[in-house]
Amino acid sequence: MDKVLISQVGFSTMHKVVTVDMEKDILSANRKLADQNQALLDEHGIRAFDFLGAIGSGKTLIIERLIDKLKGDGKRCAAIAGDVAGDDDYRRFSAHGVAAENISTGKECHLDAHMVDHALERLPLDDLDYVFVENVGNLVCPVDFPLGSHKRVVVISVTEGDDMVRKHPAIFAFSDVVVINKVDLADAMEVDPDSLATDARRTNPNAKVVIMNARQGKGIDDLAEALGL
Amino acid sequence: MHEFSVMSQIVDAIMEEAKKREASKIEGVTIELGEFTMLGEEQMRFSFEVLSKGTMMEDATLVFRTTDGEIECECGFRGGMSPSDDAAHGSTLILECPKCGGAAAIVGGRECVIRDIRMVVPDV
């Protein structure tokens, strides 16, 4: 709701200068749309998860692994792939035989609730149990734009270094699950996954931390449990 | 990077208000940025410069204020977050409750609000 009142008046002959008091929260428009997205998902009994994380941290592969696991349990999944350009992730999801939507943001560095709303419109919501949303690879901008999912997962990998949490605290503070991926490469990278986990727990004591090696499928069950699947 | 898209929404909102009041010029705008948003003032100013060029808000003075972030814990604590013990990352966001060490939640500091607009309007 925007509150408007005129508080200060200065005069000239034909014109006057006024200060118009506003209370317009620019980011709240996205939050409202996000709430609408969640209401739409709830109406259809769908649980949605969005995946955030750096470029190359393993977001797509982790979602693919979850899709395979859930399909094996007889659940119906869909995925929304957000990228600046191309449809590589969309094609990877489609190859698993699930409904998928592609969002090419063009120049935007993040998905917003409006783009996800349109993608949801194109998905067969009546026939789904779970929707996975993969955001654009970016640890900064998506923080300010919730999408309406039920849980937010942030994925980092040991190949990005041992200071990722301390460098990007906000995205960890605003996520429900933190995945530390590619731990099979920890020795080669000389990065201790435990120190990443400690930083993550301190930044967000509410978050569940999951240690993974998605390539070999390790930790998928822990992630599924953290997501309540 | 997303400052440009946020600022273009701000410019649209200012323009809408200006049209409603038949303003001929925007002299100043006050914007409040929450401490926990990922919006940088310098990038916001640069985006405004680009977006306002050739419009009635070209010469407007932008004033930015920071809204303090606030966290709340079940133990009853409400206030600022724990200071980081790592000097190199001085502004690290930590949700560990500074009082009891439990898990606090963010209750303020996520806003980007247009607080006021100073504009020249017809004197009727």
Find, in chain A, the residue whose alpha carbon is nearest to that of B7.
A26
**Which of B4, B5, B29 to probe the A interface (max A CBs under 10 A)?**
B5
Kindly report, residue by residue over A190-216, the tens digit of the pLDDT.
999 999 999 999 889 999 999 999 999
What per-residue confidence (pLDDT) applies to A1?
A: 42
Indicate the average pLDDT of chain A: 92
Assess whether pLDDT exceeds 80 at residue A112.
yes
**Which of A14, A20, A204 to probe the B interface (max B CBs under 10 A)?**
A20
Domains and CATH numbers, chain B: 1-69+109-124 (3.30.2320.50), 70-108 (no CATH)
Chain B residue numbers with beta carbons less than 8 Å from the beta carbon of A196 are: none
Q: Pick the residue with more confidence: A104 or A51?
A: A51
Helices in A111-210 by DSSP H: which ranges? 113-122, 164-167, 169-173, 186-189, 193-203
Tell me which residues of chain A have a C-beta less than 8 Å from any C-beta of chain B.
4, 7, 11-29, 108-110, 138, 140-141, 143-145, 163, 166-167, 169-170, 172-174, 202-206
Find, in chain A, the residue whose alpha carbon is nearest to that of B123.
A15
Helices in A174-227 by DSSP H: which ranges? 186-189, 193-203, 220-226
Prediction ipTM score: 0.79
Chain A residue numbers with beta carbons less than 8 Å from the beta carbon of B27 are: 17
Distance (Å) from the alpha carbon of A6 to chain B's nearest alpha carbon? 10
Percent of chain A whose pLDDT exceeds 70: 94
The answer for residues whose C-beta is within 8 angstroms of residue A154's C-beta and 6 or more apart is A51, A52, A53, A139, A171, A172, A175, A177, A178, A179
What per-residue confidence (pLDDT) applies to A183?
A: 97
Please answer yes or no on whether B95 and A17 come within 8 Å at the CB atom: no
**What DSSP designation does B103 have?**
B
Query: What are the backbone dihedrals phi and psi of residue A67, each rounded to the nearest 5 degrees, phi first?
Result: -60, -45
- Token readout for A198 is 């400690």
Q: How far apart are CA B10 and CA B42, in angstroms?
A: 15
Confidence of residue A29 (pLDDT cuts 50, 70, 90): confident
Chain A residue numbers with beta carbons less than 8 Å from the beta carbon of B92 are: 166, 169, 203
- What is the residue whose two structure tokens read 């449990």? A225
What per-residue confidence (pLDDT) applies to B90?
A: 45
Distance (Å) from the alpha carbon of B106 to chain A's nearest alpha carbon? 9
CB A134 within 8 Å of CB A154: no
Residues of chain B with pLDDT under 70: 1, 82-92
Find, in chain B, the residue whose alpha carbon is nearest to that of A21.
B116
Kindly report, residue by residue over A131-189, the tens digit of the pLDDT.
999 999 988 888 889 999 999 999 999 999 999 998 888 899 999 999 999 999 999 99
Find, in chain B, the residue whose alpha carbon is nearest to that of A174.
B106
- Closest by CA to B28, choosing from A21, A12, A14, A2, is A21
Please answer yes or no on whether A166 and B123 come within 8 Å at the CB atom: no
Kindly report, residue by residue over A79-103, the tens digit of the pLDDT.
999 988 989 999 999 999 999 999 9
What per-residue confidence (pLDDT) applies to B57?
A: 96
Distance (Å) from the alpha carbon of B93 to chain A's nearest alpha carbon? 5
The CATH number that domain A27-226 falls under is 3.40.50.300
Has this prediction a pTM greater than 0.80?
A: yes
Assess whether pLDDT exceeds 60 at residue A25.
yes
